[in-house]
Amino acid sequence: MTFGDIKYRLNEFWSEFRKEKSGLIGLGILIVALLVVVFEPLILPWKDANTRWRSIDYWQDNSANAPPAWMNAFTKLKAPVTMRIEDAKKEETELDGGIKLVTYTFDYHYTADKAPLDVILHITGHGDIPFQVAIERPDGATIDLAQRFEQGLSGQDIRLSIDNDGREAAFTFVKNYESQEALEQFSGKSLRTADILFNIAQPGMAKEFKPLKGTYKLIAKAMLLDPQNSDVEEPYIVVTGSISGLLGTDDSKRDLFSGLVAGLKWALLIGFLTSAISVFIGVMYGIVSAYFGGAVDSVMQFVYQIVNSMPVLPVLIVISAIFKPNIYMLILVMVLFFWTGSVMTVRSMALQIKEETYIEAAKALGAKKSRIIFKHMVPILIPYSFASMALSVPSAIVYESSVSLLGLGDATIVTWGQILHDAMQGAAILKGIWWWILPPGLLIAIMGMTFAFLGFSMDKILHPKLKTR
Amino acid sequence: MYKWFVLKRVLKGIFTYIIIIFIMSVLFNTVNEQTMRASIEDQVRAESMRLKNMQPSAIQRYQQQRRDELVHLYRLDRPLLERILFRTWNTITFSFGKSTIIKSSRGDRDVIIIIGEAIPRSLILFTLAAAIEIAVGIILGLKKAQKPGGTLDRTTSLVTMIVYGMPTFWLAMILIMFFVYQLKIFPSAGMHSVPLPQGIMYLVDLLWHMTLPLLTLLLIGFWGVSFVVRNIVLSILQEDYIMAARARGIPEKRVLFGHTLRTAAPPLITISVLSLLASISGAIIFEGIFSWPGLGNLYWIAVQQNDIPVLMGDLAVTVGLYQMGLIMLDLTYGFMDPRIKVGGKA
């Protein structure tokens, strides 16, 4: 089979395939999915979602169980969206005695109707550094939130949360406006810092939240006592809102959109690898079984029947529970069950081809068995298996997600099934956290639909008998 | 010679089952023996607790003696092959031993009792679902085949492809979220209300609990069935005798239900049993979402509690049921289609 042959056959196939509307839709979705996988580093909002999905401190600045950001379009009271601000105005001033004062000013435009949950400052420091954080409100008031002295830093990340570290300062600020009686009903602990800071300063502010909209300035000052040996760099703030990202967060504060994008490549890999390897094995098995016949055929049919009479998922669950396989081992185990799918059709087709005259001619010319099988039988039968290849992709994805749903998935990667497992564990059904349950399953279903579209269209073209119906 | 056909098929099924169990005994041998040794240690410790007024050395001697006895009883001191064969034999004769944590509803710790409780619960759910699936699927399939390429045919075929890769457990989650926690018209989990209603209300209560699991299976199941029914019926409708029947003026209804369905019966039975088997093989864990206390739910509990004997027993029983389904499939097929039992080869 030459390159020209392949090209001709592909052209022929394409001219038929173009007429199948569902097939084209499937192809379109598949191409989009592949593009997402290729451009994953650009699309991922959280760049390390792949490697640090289970790290607690990577996600700590998010809010837990936050609905998607676009939920604001459906609510009357707008909630602030979680955002990260890296733009800072940097000022350096020399003080007496060789001390340098570095000031970073962040602007936050506050327009929501609810207060953010927290504002968190991150900064990387070297050496011994006293820090000071203040906030300047749109009404002109400046509140000194917190001070901290960090010693012996060597590039660690300093994290200052105004909710924790600025609580006392906020309470002092409320005292200016509230009467003593009103204050007695609250202790410093029951107040949320952000509720005070983003509130209009007036009597009754401790009870009721009225947003003071406008531009807030978060001012972070770091004193470099010994400018040669100490330094601060890479400052940024995170404003933690009660809604977050494209698809919200789960109860471990993870951004679900990042998880779903990271899971896509695994779903495709599981589907492709499992179906491609198993269909290849199945085709070879069917051909060998048909070509040699006799005792070989009987033994091979027996093995086939044994594998075929095992229920896949239960066996898969027990194997995963006992051997705790990684993802590639799981794929291998699935291949051990999936190859039977195409054996029977291939075998019956190979039985017909075997009797063709050109096979007889090849035999008469003294062709080896391997040459007849690989040169004359495999090229004819492989295209027919493409349809069953596409149709077995969805079940591979569903089996993996079922195993992951039980908590037996590979813990080094993120898959959609694992997200659903976490959702089950986090009682997302009970709490009605639909953005945690709906998207992963929907994606599994869409992947299944895509390959069903492709598979059924290819089936129609490659098995012309179905076309008349 | 139907009885020879039956005998041959049943023997072959049993033989296949034995081989599968043997493979599994080989595969899971290490884990099984670890669990067994651990349970022997437990037993020895429990027994020596009861001994009083004995020297420590005497207790130790007694423990060692008991341990050796039990190891010998469970043949853990025998060669590997004999151990594996012994386990295979135990599994085939359904002596799975005792569970490590899980108990049956009456407090028994025999694995066979725990699983025996779960079997009817799973069967009633899955067979009922399969029966409804087939009924709806056949009716829809016939309607589709009557007008191939029509609006109904095309839309339902589209839905078939859309639900093709939809995970049952996910649909279950969504249905629970909507019907149980939003509309609050179905119970969230389990099989019965507490306290157990009596008489006719018991049945009503059971059906009420079963509605949502059934709905989940149906919503995904019957599309595929109707698609296959359509293809089978369509190929039969092109046969000459159908044309002859129509030419004789036999009403269309009788052509469809009398002539076509009779010929289509064997493959229809095949797909109905196959769809039942497919849900055992692929969707069984969705029971866990509904806490339906069947075999699928048992996998969840056994995995979570790490109860190896129950897990192994559950697997052996599921494989057995699956095997029985396959045998039933061939037997009914042979009964409906005489060519098979005579020719011997399909």
- The encoded tokens of residue A206 equal 């401790």
Residue A93 has pLDDT above 60, yes or no: yes
Q: Count the neighbouring beta carbons within 10 Å of the beta carbon of residue B169.
A: 27
Residue A144: its H or E element: strand A142-161
**Which chain A residue shows the shortest CA-CA distance from B282?**
A313
pLDDT confidence of A186, banded at 50, 70, 90? low
List the beta bridge partners of residue A120: A161, A238
Rounded distance between C-alpha atoms, residue A173 and residue A184, angstroms: 15
Q: Which of A309, A336, A457 is the best residue to mutate to test the B interface, defined by the most B CB atoms within 10 Å of its own CB?
A: A309
Distance (Å) from the alpha carbon of A469 to chain B's nearest alpha carbon: 7
Q: Which residue has the higher pLDDT, A1 or A243?
A: A243
Residue type, B313: G
Q: Rounded CA gap, A232 and A88, in Å?
A: 13
Contacts of B162 in chain A (CB under 8 A): 445, 449, 452
The reported pLDDT for the residue numbered A232 is 84
Distance CA A41, CA A189 (A): 42
Tally DSSP H helices, then E strands, for chain A: 18, 7
Which residues are bridge partners to A93 per DSSP?
Answer: A101
Long-range (24+ apart) CB contacts under 8 A made by A191-196 are A191/A167, A192/A115, A192/A117, A192/A163, A193/A118, A193/A145, A193/A162, A193/A163, A193/A164, A193/A166, A193/A167, A194/A115, A194/A116, A194/A117, A194/A118, A194/A119, A194/A162, A194/A163, A195/A115, A196/A170, A196/A171
What integer is the mean pLDDT of A90-109? Answer: 85
Check: CB of residue B185 under 8 Å from CB of residue B211. no
> Given B160, B281, B323, which is nearest A313 (Cβ)?
B281
pLDDT digits (tens, 9 = 90+) for A327-381: 999 999 999 999 998 888 889 888 888 888 988 899 899 889 889 988 888 888 8
Residue A466: list chain B partners with CB under 8 A.
231
Say what the pLDDT of residue A188 is: 54
pLDDT tens string A421-462: 999 998 888 888 999 999 999 999 999 999 999 998 888 887
Give chain B's radius of gyration (CA, Å).
Answer: 26
Neighbour tally for A324: CB within 10 Å: 13
C-alpha distance from residue B147 to each of B152, B250, B305 (Å): 8, 19, 53
Q: What is the pLDDT of residues B23-49, one digit of tens each?
A: 999 999 888 888 888 888 888 888 877
Q: CA–CA separation, A416 vs A420, rounded Å?
A: 6
Q: How far is CA A155 from CA A124, A127, A229, in A?
A: 6, 8, 12
CB A226 within 8 A of CB A128: yes
Do residue A22 and residue B161 have CB atoms under 8 angstroms apart?
A: yes
pLDDT in tens, B59-88: 888 888 888 888 888 888 888 888 899 889
At a CB cut-off of 8 Å and minimum separation 6, what does B252 contact?
B246
What phi, psi does A90 have (nearest 5°)?
Answer: -105, 130
CB-defined contacts A:B, below 8 A: 142
Handedness of CA B119, B125, B127, B128 (dihedral sign): positive
Per-residue pLDDT tens for A267-321? 999 999 999 999 999 999 999 999 998 899 999 999 999 998 899 999 999 999 9
Among candidates A309, A313, A438 on the partner chain, residue whose Cβ is nearest the Cβ of B282: A313
**Given a cut of 80, is residue A397 above it in pLDDT?**
yes
Tell me how far apart the 2 most distant CA atoms of chain A are, in Å.
108
Mean pLDDT of B136-148: 88
pLDDT band at B346 (very low <50, low <70, confident <90, very high): very low
> Counting Cβ atoms within 10 Å, is residue A139 exposed (0-12), middle (13-18) or buried (19+)?
exposed
Residues A238 and A66: their CA atoms lie apart, in Å, by 15
Q: Take residue A95 and report the two structure tokens written for it.
A: 């003080």
CB B242 within 8 A of CB B160: no
Which residues from chain B sit within 8 angstroms of residue A452, using beta carbons?
Answer: 160-162, 164-165
d(CA A116, CA A193) in angstroms, rounded, equals: 10
Contact A449 B326 (CB under 8 A): no
Say how far apart CA A196 and CA A185 lie, in whole Å: 16
Does residue A112 sit in helix, strand or coil?
coil
DSSP H or E segment with residue A222: strand A214-224
pLDDT band at A466 (very low <50, low <70, confident <90, very high): very low
Taking CB atoms and an 8 Å limit, are B20 and A449 in contact across chains? no
For B82, residues 6+ apart whose C-beta sits below 8 A from its C-beta are B75
Decide if pLDDT at A148 tops 90: no
Residue A171 in this model has a pLDDT that exceeds 90:
no
| B268 pLDDT more than 80 | yes
Residue B40 has what pLDDT? 86
Question: What's the average model confidence in pLDDT over A396-415?
Answer: 92
Q: Is A21 helix (H, G, I), strand (E, B) or coil?
A: helix
State residue A213's pLDDT score. 86
Cα B17 to Cα B9: distance, rounded to the nearest angstrom: 12
The residue written with tokens 């599981």 in the block is A270
8 Å CB contact between B341 and B16 = no
pLDDT at A468: 40
Mean pLDDT value across chain A: 87
CB under 8 Å to B337, separation ≥6 — which residues?
A: B266
State the Cα angle at A417 between A415 and A418, rounded to 5°.
Answer: 70
B201-219 tens-digit pLDDT: 888 888 899 999 999 999 9
Q: Which of B27, B177, B318 sits opposite A437 (nearest CB)?
A: B177
Give residue-wise pLDDT tens across range B93-123: 888 888 888 888 888 888 999 999 999 999 8
> Which pTM was predicted?
0.88
Contact status, residue B210 vs residue B256, Cβ threshold 8 Å: no
Round to whole Å and give the CA distance between B256 and B246: 10
| Shortest Cα distance, chain A CAs vs residue B282, angstroms | 5
Name the minimum distance, in Å, from the CA of B57 to any CA of chain A. Answer: 38
Nearest chain B Cα to A445, which residue? B166
**A317 and B158 in contact by Cβ < 8 A?**
no
Task: Give A222's strand partners.
Answer: A102, A131
A202/A214 Cα distance (integer angstroms): 17
Helix (H, G, I), strand (E, B) or coil at A205: coil
**CA-CA-CA-CA torsion for A440, A443, A447, A453, nearest 10 degrees?**
140
DSSP A65: T
CA distance A432 to chain B (A): 6
